[in-house]
Amino acid sequence: MSQPTLVSLAVQDGVGVITVNNPPVNALSAGVPEGIATCLATALADPAVQAIVLIGAGRSFIAGADIREFDKGRVTMPIGDGFIDKLDASPKPVIAAIHGYALGGGLETALGCNYRIALRSAKLGLPEVLIGLLPGAGGTQRLPRLIGPKAALDLITTGRHVPADEAKALGIVDEVVEADLLPAAIAFAHRVAAHRPLPQISANASKLAADPGLFDATRKAIARKARNQKAPYNCIAAVEAACTLPFAQGLAREAELFRELETSAESRALRYVFFAEREAAHVPGIPPNTKAPAVQSAAVVGAGTMGGGIAMCFADAAIPVKILEASQEALDRGMARIRANYETSVKRGSLAQDEMERRFARITPVLDYAALADADVAIEAIFEEMAPKQAVFRQLDAVMKPGALLLSNTSALNIDEIASVTQRPDVVAGAHFFSPANVMKLLEVVKGAATSAATMNAVMAMGRAIGKLSVGCGNCDGFLANRSRAPFGMEMVILLEEGALPQQIDKVMVEFGYPMGPVAVGDLAGLDIGWAARKRRAAADPNYRKQPISDRLCELGRFGQKTGAGWYRYEKGDRTPHPDPEVTAIIEQVSAEMGITRRAISDEEILHRLLFASINEACKILEEGIAYRASDVDVMWLHGFGFPRYRGGLMFWADQIGVKTVYEQIQRWHQLYGSRWAPSALLRQLAETGTAFKDAKAG
Ligand code: T1G
Q: pLDDT, tens digit, for every residue of 137-162? A: 999 999 999 999 999 999 999 999 99
| Residue 331 one-letter amino acid | L
Atom of ligand 1 nearest to the CA of 281: 27
636-641: long-range contacts (C-beta < 8 A, 24 or more apart)? 636/442, 636/444, 636/471, 636/480, 636/481, 636/484, 637/484, 637/485, 638/273, 639/434, 639/440, 639/441, 639/442, 639/469, 640/434, 640/440, 640/442, 640/444, 640/481, 640/485, 641/481, 641/485
Q: Does the N-terminal peptide bond of residue 24 adopt cis geometry, omega within 30 degrees of 0?
A: yes
Confidence of residue 384 (pLDDT cuts 50, 70, 90): confident
**Which pairing describes strands 442-447 and 428-433: parallel, antiparallel, or unpaired?**
antiparallel
On the question of pLDDT at 288 being above 90, the answer is: no
Q: Could you give the percent of the chain with pLDDT greater than 90? A: 91
Helices H / strands E in the chain, number of each: 28, 19
Q: Who contacts 210 (Cβ-Cβ below 8 Å, separation ≥6)?
A: 144, 148, 149, 150, 243
Nearest CA to ligand 1 atom 23: 101
List 98's β-bridge partners, or say none: 118
**72 C-alpha vs ligand 1 centroid, how far in Å?**
17
Mean predicted confidence (pLDDT) in 674-698: 93
Q: Which atom of ligand 1 is nearest to the CA of 24?
A: 17
Given pLDDT bands bounded at 50, 70 and 90, which one contains residue 3? Answer: low
Q: Are 341 and 262 in contact (CB under 8 A)?
A: no
Question: For residue 120, what pLDDT is reported?
Answer: 98
Question: In degrees rounded to 5, what are phi and psi of residue 176?
Answer: -115, 130
Same fold, 7-263 and 605-695: no
Rounded distance between C-alpha atoms, residue 116 and residue 97, angstroms:
6
Quick: pLDDT tens for 436-493.
999 999 999 999 999 999 999 999 999 999 999 999 999 999 999 999 999 999 999 9
Kind plus residue range of the DSSP H or E element containing 105: helix 105-112
The residue contributing the CA closest to ligand 1 atom 1 is: 66
Cα–Cα distance between 77 and 259 in angstroms, integer?
A: 9
CATH number corresponding to 7-263: 3.90.226.10
- Indicate the average pLDDT of the chain: 95
C-alpha of residue 62 to centroid of ligand 1, in Å: 10
**Is residue 533's pLDDT more than 90?**
no
**Which residue type does 247 have?**
F
Q: Name the CATH code of domain 298-476 (choices 3.60.15.10, 3.40.50.720, 3.30.70.3270, 3.40.50.10540).
A: 3.40.50.720
Ligand 1 atom nearest 66 alpha carbon: 1
Per-residue model confidence as pLDDT tens digits over 31-87: 999 999 999 999 999 999 999 999 999 999 999 999 998 877 665 565 666 899 999
Rg (CA), the chain: 28
Ligand 1 midpoint to CA 103 (Å): 9
Spatial distance between the Cα atoms of 18 and 235, rounded to a whole number of angstroms: 31
How many A from CA of 253 to the centre of ligand 1? 26
Mean pLDDT of 163-169: 98
Where do the structural domains in the chain lie, given as residue ranges? 7-263, 298-476, 500-593, 605-695
- CA 274 – ligand 1 centroid, Å: 8
Q: Considering only the top CATH level, what class is 605-695? A: mainly alpha
Closest among 252, 146, 76, 201 to 237, alpha carbons compared: 252
pLDDT at 74: 61
**Which residues does 356 contact at the CB level (< 8 Å), separation at least 6?**
342, 343, 345, 346
> What single-letter amino acid sits at 228?
N
The residue contributing the CA closest to ligand 1 atom 52 is 63
Give 535-553 pLDDT, tens digit per residue.
Answer: 988 988 888 899 999 999 9
For strand 321-324 and strand 363-366, is the pairing parallel, antiparallel, or unpaired?
A: parallel
Q: What is the pLDDT at residue 78? A: 59
Task: Using most ligand atoms within 8 A of CB, pick from 36, 60, 67, 267 the residue to mutate for ligand 1.
Answer: 67
Which atom of ligand 1 is nearest the CA belonging to 133?
Answer: 21
Cα gap 35→20, rounded to integer Å: 8
Residue closest by Cα to atom 42 of ligand 1: 63
What pLDDT score does 88 carry?
95
Ligand 1 midpoint to CA 155 (Å): 18
- The answer for residues whose C-beta is within 8 angstroms of residue 287's C-beta and 6 or more apart is none
Residue 537: which of 551, 557, 526 has the closest Cα? 551
Nearest CA to ligand 1 atom 54: 278
| Cα separation, 128 vs 35, whole angstroms | 23
- pLDDT of 291 higher than 70: yes
- Which residues form ligand 1's pocket by a CB distance below 6 Å? 24-25, 27, 63-68, 77, 79, 101, 103-105, 108, 127-128, 131, 133, 135-137, 139, 275, 278
Best of 25, 128, 141, 260 for a ligand 1 pocket test (most atoms within 8 Å of beta carbon):
25
The answer to whether the beta carbons of residues 415 and 430 sit under 8 Å apart is yes
What pLDDT was estimated at residue 377? 98
User: Would you name the residues annotated as active-site residues?
Assistant: 108, 128
Q: Which ligand 1 atom is the nearest neighbour of the CA of 282?
A: 27
**pTM for the full model?**
0.95
* CA nearest neighbour of 465 among 297, 317, 299: 317
- Residue 105 CA to ligand 1 center (angstroms) comes to 11
For 599-614, what is each residue's pLDDT tens digit? 999 999 999 999 999 9
pLDDT digits (tens, 9 = 90+) for 9-26: 999 999 999 999 999 999
Query: Which atom number of ligand 1 is nearest to the Cα of residue 139?
Result: 30
Burial class from Cβ neighbours inside 10 Å (0-12, 13-18, 19+) for residue 117 reads buried
**Phi/psi of residue 364, each to 5°?**
-110, 115
**Which pLDDT score, from 0 to 100, does residue 211 have?**
87
Architecture of domain 500-593: Orthogonal Bundle (1.10)
Residues 77-127 pLDDT 10s: 656 668 999 999 999 999 999 999 999 999 999 999 999 999 999 999 999
User: Whose CA is closest to 492, among 514, 470, 460?
Assistant: 514
| C-alpha triplet 221, 227, 232: angle, nearest 5° | 65
* Statement: residue 322 has pLDDT above 60: yes
Distance CA 97, CA 101 (A): 11
C-alpha distances in Å from residue 41, one per residue of 6, 21, 197, 501: 16, 18, 20, 68
Residue type, 134: L
> From CA 421, how far away is CA 442, in angstroms rounded?
28
Q: Are 450 and 419 in contact (CB under 8 A)?
A: yes
Which of 45-49, 176-180, 625-629, 693-697 shows the lowest per-residue confidence on average (mean pLDDT)? Answer: 693-697
